[in-house]
Amino acid sequence: MPDYHAFMQVDVVTAVHEPYAVFLASAWDSLRRQSHAHWSWLVQIDGPSAAVAAALEACGASDDPRVTVRANGTAEGPAVTRNIALGRTAAPLVQNLDADDELEPAALDLLAAALAAHPRAGYAVGHARDLLPDGRLTTHDLPVRPGPLPRGALSAQWAAADRPYGLPVHPAGAMWRRSLLLALGGWSALHGMEDTGLLIAASAAADGVLVDAPTLRYRKHPAQRSGQTSKFSGGGGADCTGPAPRRAARQPPGVDRPVAPRSGQTDPAGCDGRGGGQRRSIPRAVAAATAAVRESTPNLA
CATH of the domain at 195: 3.90.550.10
Question: Distance (Å, rounded) from C-alpha 112 to C-alpha 197?
Answer: 22
pLDDT band for position 82 (cuts 50, 70, 90): very high
pLDDT score, position 165 = 57
Question: Distance (Å, rounded) from C-alpha 155 to C-alpha 149?
Answer: 11
Per the CB < 8 A criterion, the answer to whether 127 and 217 are in contact is no
Burial class (CB in 10 A: 0-12, 13-18, 19+), 206: buried
Query: 225 vs 81, which has greater pLDDT?
Result: 81
Do the domain assignments include residue 214? yes
- For strands 67-71 and 39-46, give the pairing: parallel
In angstroms, the first-to-last Cα distance of the chain is 25
Domain total for the chain?
1
Give Cβ neighbours of residue 196 (< 8 Å, ≥ 6 apart). 165, 167, 171, 188, 190
pLDDT band for position 60 (cuts 50, 70, 90): very high
Per the CB < 8 A criterion, the answer to whether 21 and 54 are in contact is yes
pLDDT score, position 28 = 98
Do the domain assignments include residue 249? no
- What is the average pLDDT across 90-96? 97
Expressed as residue numbers, the domain containing 36 is: 4-224+281-296
Do the domain assignments include residue 73? yes
Do the domain assignments include residue 60? yes
| Amino acid occupying residue 44 | Q
pLDDT score, position 43 = 98
pLDDT band for position 288 (cuts 50, 70, 90): low
pLDDT band for position 291 (cuts 50, 70, 90): low
pLDDT band for position 271 (cuts 50, 70, 90): very low
Q: What would the pLDDT profile of 117-139 be if each residue is shown by its tens digit? A: 999 999 999 998 888 988 888 88
Do the domain assignments include residue 129? yes
Question: Distance (Å, rounded) from C-alpha 156 to C-alpha 283?
Answer: 10
Question: Distance (Å, rounded) from C-alpha 24 to C-alpha 237?
Answer: 36
Do the domain assignments include residue 200? yes
Do the domain assignments include residue 34? yes
- For strands 102-103 and 147-149, give the pairing: unpaired
Do the domain assignments include residue 119? yes
Please give the model's pTM, rounded to 2 decimal places: 0.77
